[in-house]
Amino acid sequence: MKNKAIISLILGIILSALALYLAFKNVPFPELIIYLASINYLWIIPSVVVIFIVFAIRAYRWQIILESAHKIGFWQAFHPLMIGFMINCVLPGRVGELARPAVLLKKEKVPFLTGLATVAAERVFDVGILMVLFVVLFATVKIDPGLDITFGNYHLNQKTLIMVGRSMLQLFLVLIAGIIMVSFDKTRKVINNAVMAIPSVFFFSGPSFKLKLQQKICLPLVGFVENFATGFTLVKYPTKIYICTGLSIVIWGLSALSWYIVALGCPGIELSFKEITAVMIIVCFFIALPSVPGFWGIWEAGGVFALALFGVSAKDAAGFTLVNHAVQVFTVIVIGLISSLVTSVNIWQVSYEDREST
């Protein structure tokens, strides 16, 4: 198991290095080094503080979502959240999304599917706020249709951005529809009845086969739906939905602030808070494309594209996005490692054994 984790980590590092090469292949390396040396790194300190606050609020939001099904303390939500985000930064396949409910199962005895449903519910709030910001972005920022940056097999341009936006909107609508279907008793009853009716489709088979099908397939599927539905109990509490929506707005506002603080120490990045927020939104949409662990490369390429819209040179844009990305990712990794030590969670075991069990 540990060997698989090490191989995956090495593969992730190689892919990240290749992605960074693709992102920076047109940026003169000596000029990039000179730019990185000119940055005032003291601004990283307040940025890291803001990042910590962002994840503390994320943990509080997740705690609210979880308490509709299982009440847990703030730190019992914070540590699994940070471990999950850390794993996403170092291993491929976004296994961190599965690690969070896996840690909850091990430490708080919260059913895995219930925890996974709460992670999905949390993503609905994030995607929903991003979709609103994306609409505002297109209404206020003119995106040059001729601007095109190649990253591997991708062309980062206006067309790609719109395509990703549509995909995220479809994902958002599917999540909402799925939550509605399993959260309310009437629709969930229809689903469960349909599942239990599966054996009747095999009318030509004997009673023993139908009974076995019911016990081995139908009943576990119904249990799956019921456990998953427990994680979406939040929909029955409108006040909590309003609170989580407000917290989501604060989360993304503070996230933009952490970017803006880093920009204050970067020469050539003389953008307003609103413009930096637009850059963050564009990068967030581009990193929705399939990418390597930690989004290395695609983040930088997206940042160069977004900053070009505001007249920032490729050298300055590359330097800022690289430093800002490192600040964001390494802060998460450090806090995640501390959380794993505090909770005595075996990261490799959580990353792989629980993924295989699903």
Question: Residues 239-268: pLDDT tens digits?
Answer: 988 999 999 999 999 999 999 999 999 999
Closest CA to 299 of 312, 310, 284, 313: 284
Six token digits for residue 211: 């009974």
* Rounded CA separation 84/340 (Å): 10
Residue 152 has pLDDT above 70, yes or no: no
187 vs 170, 184, 197, CA distance in Å?
A: 21, 6, 15
Considering only 4-13, 25-34, 62-71, 135-144, which range has the smallest mean pLDDT?
Answer: 4-13
pTM, two decimal places: 0.84
Q: How far apart are CA 324 and CA 314, in angstroms?
A: 15
Closest CA to 293 of 129, 25, 76, 85: 85
Task: Name the phi and psi angles at 151, rounded to 5.
Answer: -135, 100
Q: Is the pLDDT of residue 3 over 70?
A: no
What's the pLDDT tens digit per position in 314-339?
A: 889 989 999 999 999 899 989 998 99
φ/ψ bin of 152: left (φ > 0), alpha (ψ from -120 to 50), beta (otherwise): left
Q: Do residues 231 and 121 lie in contact, with contact meaning Cβ atoms separated by under 8 Å? A: yes
With a CB cutoff of 8 Å and minimum separation 6, the contacts of 113 are 101, 224, 227, 228, 230, 231
* Predicted confidence band of residue 20 (pLDDT cuts 50, 70, 90): low
Q: Is 69 exposed, middle or buried (0-12, 13-18, 19+ CB in 10 A)?
A: buried
Six-digit token string for 128: 């929903």
Nearest residue to 275 via CA among 236, 310, 230, 324: 310
Is the Cα dihedral 46, 48, 49, 50 positive or negative?
positive
